[in-house]
Chain A
């Protein structure tokens, strides 16, 4: 589904991604992890065609920079970390915006588009919010509305940038369970995550980035070793494995007072 071969991205004078090579298969759920500034979000933006890159980056065998904006948007839906919240739109209208890549430039939505938006609202249990203005939603409801918009896009690849960062513990779990359910439709998911425990519980595969490079790639139990977390996050943690799940617990470093 996604093939990165030696992809580099420069943002101004900094190299945000350096020669990243990565393959994501159809239907996989991959989480990109790594410390702040590691290049996780940049990687998502490159896949979504929002930043120029060097190297080869193909979606379903087609080079991203050669796909037009609209074609790309029919393949990839991006849920940004801090979505803009236009207060002037209703939730229904906002979700309907997801149909944009399926419409001619100045065309209006057809009934099929309006039904697709309605399906997305139903899927995310937002039907009763349809006519509410976006500005009146709570953080968790907004997150669902953005997911609904992405779903209405009917793309095969869903990119989620820190899908849980604005949510409380319960909402984090609900959001990720929801994403898990969406995979039944055959969606491929690439997300970035700060919470390593949640990343390890939901994604099948973790890719650890540091300073724009892939430094580890594999199943959670392998990538989330205390050594990796210590080395790349500079954090002291205990990693507990139980019932095949990995829990990363921060541990206050022991200090000796001289």
Chain B
């Protein structure tokens, strides 16, 4: 007898193409919009002129070339990378903790990064070079502490314990951060500027520094998309299906944390991306992690790149911190998700 096959829902091709098109659109808008507007045709031709052997001539002046490729491009690329990372980490955290309202800052990434950055801004003098590594280190240490505390507290109800440990560590880190900040009130503005997040100082160097972390982390998370579906049946049933739940959780949390820490280190704290994007995909496309995780990366990138355009144009020539915009859209969205989940 011939049986049919059960086909799991992956990324449906039309939606995959839509997501990629959205990302390309976001990149073009990000490169073209600003104090000097440049049309998409000019940008594409200019981009092609940098490809050897094509013999396309850029229609842009040298000033426009510099604006597009030295000022806007690193900013657009960085915002897309950070947005993709935060969204994919958010989706993975939601899967690991089986809670749709969780975001990648759950285990203290934000508070730890905040403390690290504040310490360097307060004591490190004028040099901003050390802020990203300090933020990265603070974030990683914070989550490692939460994980160690959660494990030592007990294996039963492992995720609940872990979440409580994360809250504990985050509260402590936030208290320490506030203490340091109040002691150095002359640096308050710099600390706040960092905490609110943004891409106004983005350079190709930043892009080069975070790309390896984000590429590896998001690749690891995308590879776990089927395993995330297995975890949805709960720890005990996943174990009875042959999954070493503790080890899988550690792998996913570690990958999501390293990627998020790298993203936070170069962009500050940008809230709600990790909640808005995965949920929008769940509502529109599919609830299986096989679709949610990969699509989150692409759509998250497009979302944050477009948000960054708003951040630098709404009050132009002033910049609005990007975290304000994501929270402005994110909080009502969060309330909506809260009401629509059990």
Chain A residues near B7 (CB-CB < 8 A): 92, 114
Chain A residues near B227 (CB-CB < 8 A): 105-106
Residue contact A130 to B242, C-beta cutoff 8 Å: no
Q: Mark A88-101, 1 if CB is under 8 A from B, else 0.
A: 11101111111011
Q: Which of B1-46 contact A (CB under 8 A)?
A: 3-9
Residue contact A89 to B6, C-beta cutoff 8 Å: no
Decide yes or no: A84 and B242 within 8 Å by CB, A96-B6, A97-B229, A118-B3 being known contacts: no
Q: Which of A96-134 contact B (CB under 8 A)?
A: 96-98, 100-101, 103, 105-106, 108-109, 111, 114-115, 117-119, 121-122, 130, 133
Give the residue name and chain of the B residue nearest to A121 (CB): B6
Interface check A35, CB cutoff 8 A: no
Alpha-carbon gap, A106 to B223, bound state (A): 6
Alpha-carbon gap, A88 to B224, bound state (A): 17
Decide yes or no: A89 and B236 within 8 Å by CB, A69-B243, A74-B242, A114-B7 being known contacts: no
Decide yes or no: A114 and B9 within 8 Å by CB, A84-B234, A88-B232, A97-B229 being known contacts: no
Q: How far is the CB of A135 from chain B (nearest CB, A)?
A: 9
Q: Mark B231-249, 1 if CB is under 8 A from A, else 0.
A: 0111011011111100000
Interface check B275, CB cutoff 8 A: no
Decide yes or no: A93 and B288 within 8 Å by CB, A50-B239, A114-B5, A118-B3 being known contacts: yes
Alpha-carbon gap, A118 to B7, bound state (A): 9
Chain A residues near B242 (CB-CB < 8 A): 69-74, 100-101
Chain A residues near B240 (CB-CB < 8 A): 48, 50, 73, 76-78, 80
The residue in A97, A115, A118, A133 that gathers the most chain B C-beta atoms within 10 A of its C-beta is A97
How many positions in chain B have a CB within 8 Å of any CB in the partner chain? 28
Residue contact B4 to A118, C-beta cutoff 8 Å: yes
Residue contact A80 to B237, C-beta cutoff 8 Å: yes
Interface check B184, CB cutoff 8 A: no
Q: How far is the CB of A69 from chain B (nearest CB, A)?
A: 5
Chain A residues near B234 (CB-CB < 8 A): 84
Q: Which of A55-93 contact B (CB under 8 A)?
A: 69-74, 76-78, 80, 83-84, 86-90, 92-93
Alpha-carbon gap, A74 to B240, bound state (A): 10
Alpha-carbon gap, A106 to B239, bound state (A): 16
Interface check A153, CB cutoff 8 A: yes
How many positions in chain A have a CB within 8 Å of any CB in the partner chain? 45
Residue contact B224 to A86, C-beta cutoff 8 Å: no
Interface check B226, CB cutoff 8 A: yes
Chain A residues near B236 (CB-CB < 8 A): 50, 80
A residues neighboring B (CB under 8 Å): 48-50, 69-74, 76-78, 80, 83-84, 86-90, 92-98, 100-101, 103, 105-106, 108-109, 111, 114-115, 117-119, 121-122, 130, 133, 153
Residue contact A89 to B287, C-beta cutoff 8 Å: yes
Chain B residues near A48 (CB-CB < 8 A): 240
Decide yes or no: A86 and B232 within 8 Å by CB, A92-B6, A93-B9 being known contacts: yes
Partner of B232 from the list A49, A73, A89 (CB cut-off 8 Å) is: A89
Other 14 A-B pairs with CB < 8 A, given A71-B242, A84-B237, A118-B6 = A73-B240, A76-B240, A80-B237, A84-B234, A89-B288, A92-B8, A94-B233, A95-B6, A97-B230, A101-B242, A103-B226, A106-B223, A114-B5, A119-B3
Those 3 A-B pairs whose CB atoms lie nearest each other, nearest first: A73-B242, A101-B242, A88-B287
Q: Mark B54-73, 1 if CB is under 8 A from A, else 0.
A: 00000000000000000000
Alpha-carbon gap, A148 to B7, bound state (A): 16
The residue in A93, A115, A130 that gathers the most chain B C-beta atoms within 10 A of its C-beta is A93
Interface check B151, CB cutoff 8 A: no
Residue contact B282 to A88, C-beta cutoff 8 Å: yes
Give the residue name and chain of the B residue nearest to A130 (CB): B6
Chain A residues near B243 (CB-CB < 8 A): 69, 100
Residue contact B239 to A69, C-beta cutoff 8 Å: yes
Chain B residues near A92 (CB-CB < 8 A): 6-8
